[in-house]
């Protein structure tokens, strides 16, 4: 994690030096950097723009490109969002999703903090292998697991319950968080703990008063990441939840709003927009944590 | 930090209850700390993984316990054109999408590694497709690929006049396959770009200075410095990318559900269709298990293939 912390300093050095030495003219720079970069941004953002503009368009404009420029709205409307909030169970889906995301994030953070502390700081024989085992668990994709997991969930009597999702999501959250936190714990000087041990603190006191306060950035990274991943999860939620009220937003939009042959594009896009907003908002508040956790986890 | 720790010894000495002593006993503490994580993973990951392999050898359906039937499920799959079709498309999908993601993602990472104003804002924007729930952005793509009101068709037909009729993106097999691949590449670029950008920033600028003094061209600097230095991180990111592209489910399920005429089924969507929607748990599990050899092969190939190249070049450079 140290290199991530140092990256703002690194960035300038790494990128500025080749530039100043490359003798390139301004026009060349525009062609080689700004033009492709703006193409990338345009393409990466266009689906969101399209999603947003569709959700505020009245149906007449939505399906008539001859008289209305499709890239703009002449008379914006809140009808689709109103329909979504008052004629469908959308608020319930949002609540369920929030409950599941918060529940599974809390559970995963608890389990992975303890596990990372044990692996990195209690140092027992074979602790690297336990770490490796947890890491390998991350490589098992949900697509392989969902069929047998469905039978396990039925055995536990949790079918069609949000609790099932809270218990199942840690299978991909715990490996990720544990590895992230191992990285953070590594960056905390061991001497601090030794001092506390000499002073007579117990291991749990050390964890609570020294290691955890110092690892707060790591905990935030792991937390927001887990929240995002569980908000976005699809296949388990699709396979384990049957009744409309218990569905999470991604599943519900696809299975409850897509009805018949005529798609309500306005409502569908409004639902997608609203469902993306919480994570997007979260993301805009914690961008740096996202980037550092993404790159930190890859570098480990 | 030492100021806060000063109060703790007093606490420990004052009340050395047996619980405190038990929790300070290292082996006990280790077990307690590992128990939640290992427990969750064992019950909801390792056990289902084993159970899945077992189910693949049974004829279990929803509501009925199956009996052991040996390799019958797999023998059936080998004669099933739909399974072969799914294998074919999974391989094509993974191959093209991974190539696209890494070519474009590496390019984007190199662009972002330059110095320009609003750099951190741009980096934040670029990661958006990866943050937003895949199904929801897939719905946006579904709308973009609409046969009648596709915005791409509108651009090509009414604005640019390059074509005379709308493109039928999802109605015929090959266009549908490539439309899905394009959506997957769109979603995968940010992850690749940001991970590779982190790798690029760790390369020491002095290497480029030395190369430039020796008269290396931009291409040579990329080929002999950037690329070899990026090998280790490329290997890891590519392993992840291949695994999660091969087992992709959401995009296909959201946009085409395997259609038209089952031409865009991936192994994961086929497993879902047979196992959960169709109720044939045993057969679905067999399809899911049939992904494992491909995954192991792809992982070994990308990881060891790239890691070995790195090792060879590292030695040559010394």
DSSP letter, residue B137: H
The total number of residues written for chain A in this structure: 300
**Inter-axis angle of helices B134-144 and A35-55, nearest 10:** 90
Distance of CA B268 to the CA centre of its chain: 13
pLDDT at site A4 = 41
Residues of chain A with pLDDT under 70: 1-24, 260-262, 293-300
DSSP B170: T
pLDDT of residue A65: 77
CA distance A121 to A159: 38
3-state SS class at A300: coil
- The predicted structure's pLDDT at residue B199: 86
What is the sign, positive or negative, of the torsion defined by CA atoms of A44, A49, A54, A60?
negative
All residues of chain B having their beta carbon less than 8 Å from the beta carbon of residue A279 are 131-133
Please give the pLDDT value at position A10. Answer: 41
Looking at the DSSP bridge assignments, the partners of residue B61 are: B64
Q: Alpha-carbon distance B129 to A153, whole Å?
A: 32
pLDDT for A191? 86
Q: What is the pLDDT of residue A188?
A: 85
Cβ(A271)–Cβ(A253) below 8 Å: yes
| Banded pLDDT at B312 (limits 50, 70, 90) | very low
Q: Could you give the CA distance from residue A146 to residue A237 in angstroms, rounded to a whole number? A: 10
For residue A14, the model assigns a pLDDT of 44
Q: Give per-residue pLDDT as tens, A64-112.
A: 777 777 888 888 888 888 888 888 888 999 999 999 999 999 999 999 9
- Note the pLDDT of residue A164: 92
Give the torsion through C-alpha atoms of B151, B155, B161, B163, to 10 deg: -50
Q: Check pLDDT > 80 for residue B310.
A: no
Closest in B126, B133, B233 to A298, CB measured: B233
Q: Is A212 on the interface with B (CB under 8 A)?
A: no
At B279, is the pLDDT very low, low, confident or very high (cuts 50, 70, 90)? confident
**Mean pLDDT over residues B305-312, rounded?**
57
The mean pLDDT of B190-207, rounded to a whole number, is: 89
Cα–Cα distance measured from residue A37 to residue A39, given in angstroms and rounded to the nearest whole number: 5
What pTM does this model have? Answer: 0.85
**CB B130, CB A232: distance < 8 Å:** no
Query: Do the Cβ atoms of B242 and B298 come closer than 8 Å?
Result: yes
Summarised one tens digit per residue, pLDDT across range A154-167 is: 888 888 899 999 99
What's the pLDDT score for residue B66?
Answer: 81
pLDDT digits (tens, 9 = 90+) for B128-177: 898 899 999 999 999 999 888 888 888 888 888 888 888 888 888 889 99
| Mean predicted confidence (pLDDT) in B256-278 | 90
- Distance from C-alpha of A54 to C-alpha of A36, rounded to nearest angstrom: 27
Instruction: For residues B274-298, give the mean pLDDT.
Output: 90
Among B274, B164, B201, which Cα is nearest to A292's?
A: B201
CA distance A228 to A221: 11
Which residues of chain A have a CB within 8 Å of the CB of B136?
51, 249-250, 253, 271-272, 275-276
ipTM over 0.85: no
Contacting A residues, span 123-142, partner chain B, CB-CB under 8 Å: 124, 130, 134, 137, 139-142
Distance CA A183, CA A188 (A): 9
DSSP letter string, A234-296: -HHHHHH--SGGG--HHHHIIIII--SSS--HHHHHHHHHHHHHHHHHHHHHSHHHHHHHHHH
* Candidate from A205, A251, A284 with C-beta closest to B8: A205
């Amino acid at each position: 994690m140290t290199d991530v912390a140092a990256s703002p300093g690194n960035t300038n050095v790494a990128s500025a030096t080749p530039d100043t030495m490359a003798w390139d003219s301004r026009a060349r720079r525009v062609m080689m950097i700004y033009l492709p970069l703006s193409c990338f941004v345009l393409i990466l953002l266009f689906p969101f723009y399209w999603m947003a503009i569709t959700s505020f368009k009245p149906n007449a404009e939505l399906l008539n490109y001859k008289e209305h420029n499709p890239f703009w709205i002449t008379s914006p409307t809140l009808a689709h969002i109103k329909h979504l909030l008052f004629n469908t169970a959308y608020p319930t889906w949002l609540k369920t999703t929030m409950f599941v995301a918060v529940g599974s994030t809390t559970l995963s953070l608890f389990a992975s903090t303890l596990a990372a502390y044990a692996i990195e700081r209690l140092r027992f024989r074979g602790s690297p292998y336990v770490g490796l085992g947890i890491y390998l668990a991350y490589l098992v994709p949900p697509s392989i697991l969902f069929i047998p997991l469905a039978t396990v969930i039925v055995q536990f009597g949790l079918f069609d319950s949000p609790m099932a999702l809270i218990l199942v999501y840690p299978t991909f959250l715990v490996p990720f968080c544990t590895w992230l936190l191992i990285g953070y714990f590594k960056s905390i000087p061991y001497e601090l703990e030794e001092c506390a041990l000499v002073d007579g603190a117990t291991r749990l006191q050390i964890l609570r008063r020294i290691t955890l306060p110092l690892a707060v950035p790591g905990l935030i990274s792991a937390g927001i990441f887990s929240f995002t991943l569980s908000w976005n999860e699809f296949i388990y939620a699709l396979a384990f939840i049957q009744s409309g009220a218990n569905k999470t937003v991604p599943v519900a939009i696809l299975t409850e709003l897509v009805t018949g042959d005529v798609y309500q594009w306005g409502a569908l896009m409004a639902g997608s927009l609203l469902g993306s907003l919480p994570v997007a908002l979260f993301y805009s508040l914690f961008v740096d944590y996202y980037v550092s956790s993404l790159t930190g986890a890859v570098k480990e | 930090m030492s100021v806060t720790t000063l109060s703790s010894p007093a606490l420990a000495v004052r009340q050395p209850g047996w619980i405190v002593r038990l929790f300070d006993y290292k082996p006990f503490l280790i077990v307690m700390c590992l128990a939640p994580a290992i427990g969750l993973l064992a019950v909801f990951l390792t056990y289902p993984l084993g159970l899945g392999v077992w189910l693949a050898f049974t004829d279990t359906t929803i509501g009925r316990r199956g009996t052991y039937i040996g390799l019958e499920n797999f023998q059936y799959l080998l004669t099933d054109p739909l399974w072969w079709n799914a294998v074919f498309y999974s391989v094509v999908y993974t191959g093209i999408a991974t190539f696209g993601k890494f070519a474009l993602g590496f390019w984007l990472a190199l662009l972002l590694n330059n110095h320009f104003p609003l750099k951190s804002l741009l980096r934040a924007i670029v990661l958006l497709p990866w943050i937003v729930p895949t199904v929801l952005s897939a719905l946006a793509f579904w709308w973009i690929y609409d046969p009648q009101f596709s915005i791409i068709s509108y651009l090509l037909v009414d604005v640019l006049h390059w074509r005379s009729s709308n493109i039928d993106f999802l109605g015929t097999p090959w266009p549908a396959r490539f439309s899905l691949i394009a959506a997957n590449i769109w979603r995968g670029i940010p992850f690749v770009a940001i991970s590779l950008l982190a790798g690029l920033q760790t390369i020491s600028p002095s290497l480029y200075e030395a190369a430039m003094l020796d008269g290396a061209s931009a291409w040579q600097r990329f080929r002999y410095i950037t690329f070899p230095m990026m090998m280790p991180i490329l290997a890891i990111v590519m392993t992840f990318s291949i695994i999660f592209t091969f087992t992709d489910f959401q995009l296909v399920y959201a946009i085409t559900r395997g259609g038209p005429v089952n031409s865009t089924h991936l192994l994961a969507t086929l497993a879902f269709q047979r196992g959960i929607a169709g109720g044939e748990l045993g057969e679905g599990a067999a399809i899911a298990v049939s992904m494992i050899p491909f995954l192991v092969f792809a992982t070994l190939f990308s990881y060891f293939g790239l890691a070995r190249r790195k090792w060879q070049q590292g030695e040559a450079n010394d």
